[in-house]
Amino acid sequence: MKSLDLKLSSKSSDYQILIGKNLLADKSHLTSVIQGNQVFIVSNDTVAPLYLASLKSGLESFECHVFLLNDGEQHKSFENYHKILNAMLEAGLRRNATLIALGGGVVGDMAGFAAATYQRGIPFIQIPTTLLSQVDSSVGGKTAVNHPLGKNMIGAFHQPCRVITDIDTLETLPDREFKAGLAEIIKAALLYDANFFEWLEACASEILSHEENALITMIERSCAIKAEIVGLDEKEQGVRAWLNLGHTFGHAIERCLGYGELLHGEAVAIGMVMAAEYAEASGLLCQGDVTRIQSLIARLGLPSTLAGYEKRLTHNDLVSAMMLDKKNVDADLTLILPKSIGEVTIKHSVKSQDVEQYLKRNLESLVA
């Protein structure tokens, strides 16, 4: 088992990220951080049949309640958040109750936001069961729900008291979702660690074959990168914005196509290529690095263009969606752009007209 300590400026919020096999079988990883005698588990109708019974079997000494969401990004809504709160109130949860998120990113975000806001905040534990949630959304304390006008527009920072990442859960993960999670791993390497990017290039076949050592290595390194950045900037006032590489374009694509059409990681993969192409056009990134980024994304089975969706999207709609991004200042865009493999910059005051022209050329090239 690997253990990472995420250390924050507010020392009371420090916590462990446990990574390994058979972690769910050892209930002490869970029970040692449960506060009080009440537990409220949030999961979904895909994950619950696989892991809920096993999880509950180690919680007989606790008053245990369960709430199940429907699976999918389209269910990450204020309406479902409200239903979780209603269930928590009806269960009579006290302030020292512990909420457990058992599932992927949607479950973790929804459960975390409920924990952040119920009685001004209760403890919660993340048990991520998708690759994307294991390397990204379960680490760092961001919680949120979507709004029809934008992704993750309503939320809070609320750190878990532990993250338990059991790689055995990846064996029940559909291949498409596994590959979607790889996008966030590529992102971590691209923005922070050129050597890790080279390792991903060299070990692509081992990763796609789910070789144990490769899985643990890439999950541990991705979490370590995110933990280091979050430790420097918990509330995203500066360098934590680096972690949004590919997300300004990606979130706009998700919103314009409708949440759930593309998996989040797929949209981020396309968004990273767009950010790289825009950086190259702006003189920030060399063409050789753009090619390496496109190649690694394709080798790991992810989309790198909007091919197949070009007739459903317009450059105007995409820019309008990008203008809702939380990083923006005043009437201009803020983009996270790669300068080289392993280094990014925060580009403020990007004119929407410039991005619109890039997107227009991008979509037209797919139709031609």
* 76 labeled part of a ligand binding site: yes
* 106 labeled part of a ligand binding site: yes
* 184 labeled part of a ligand binding site: yes
* 172 labeled part of a ligand binding site: yes
* 351 labeled part of a ligand binding site: no
Query: Residues, the chain, total?
Result: 368
* 74 labeled part of a ligand binding site: yes
Task: DSSP letter for 105, please.
Answer: H
Within 10 angstroms of residue 12's Cβ, the number of other Cβ atoms is 6
Of the listed 177, 234, 236, 266, which one is catalytic? 236
Cα four-point dihedral sign 339, 134, 306, 261: negative
Of the listed 80, 162, 184, 255, which one is catalytic? 184
Residue 153's closest CA among 23, 255, 24?
A: 255
Of the listed 65, 158, 251, 255, which one is catalytic? 251
Catalytic, 212? Answer no
Residues 35 and 347: their CA atoms lie apart, in Å, by: 43
> Helix 175-192 vs helix 287-299: angle between axes, to the nearest 10 degrees?
150
Catalytic, 11? Answer no
Of the listed 247, 277, 347, 362, which one is catalytic? 247
Both tokens of 247, joined, read: 């997300």
Place of tokens 């506060």: 35
* 266 labeled part of a ligand binding site: no
CA contacts within 13 A on the Cβ side of 326: 18
Catalytic, 348? Answer no
* 73 labeled part of a ligand binding site: yes
* 171 labeled part of a ligand binding site: yes
Of the listed 158, 179, 255, 264, which one is catalytic? 264
Of the listed 29, 65, 240, 347, which one is catalytic? 240
Of the listed 60, 79, 120, 213, which one is catalytic? 120
Catalytic, 247? Answer yes
Catalytic, 240? Answer yes
Of the listed 162, 226, 255, 347, which one is catalytic? 226
Catalytic, 184? Answer yes
* 264 labeled part of a ligand binding site: yes
Of the listed 29, 44, 65, 142, which one is catalytic? 142
Of the listed 152, 244, 328, 362, which one is catalytic? 244
* 11 labeled part of a ligand binding site: no
Both tokens of 131, joined, read: 């690759």
Which residues are bridge partners to 124 per DSSP? 99
* 142 labeled part of a ligand binding site: yes
| The 162-166 sheet, strands edge to edge | 2-6, 15-20, 162-166, 124-128, 98-103, 38-44, 63-69
* 348 labeled part of a ligand binding site: no
3-state secondary structure 249-305: HHHHHHHHHCCCCCCHHHHHHHHHHHHHHHHHHCCCCCHHHHHHHHHHHHHCCCCCC
* 109 labeled part of a ligand binding site: yes
* 201 labeled part of a ligand binding site: no
* 72 labeled part of a ligand binding site: yes
Element (H, E) at 53: helix 48-57
Catalytic, 244? Answer yes
| Phi, psi values for residue 278, rounded to 5° | -65, -40
Catalytic, 82? Answer no
Q: Enumerate the known binding-site residues for Zn(2+).
A: 184, 247, 264
Catalytic residues: 120, 142, 184, 226, 236, 240, 244, 247, 251, 264
Q: Enumerate the known binding-site residues for NAD(+).
A: 71-76, 105-109, 129-130, 142, 151, 169-172
Q: Enumerate the known binding-site residues.
A: 71-76, 105-109, 129-130, 142, 151, 169-172, 184, 247, 264
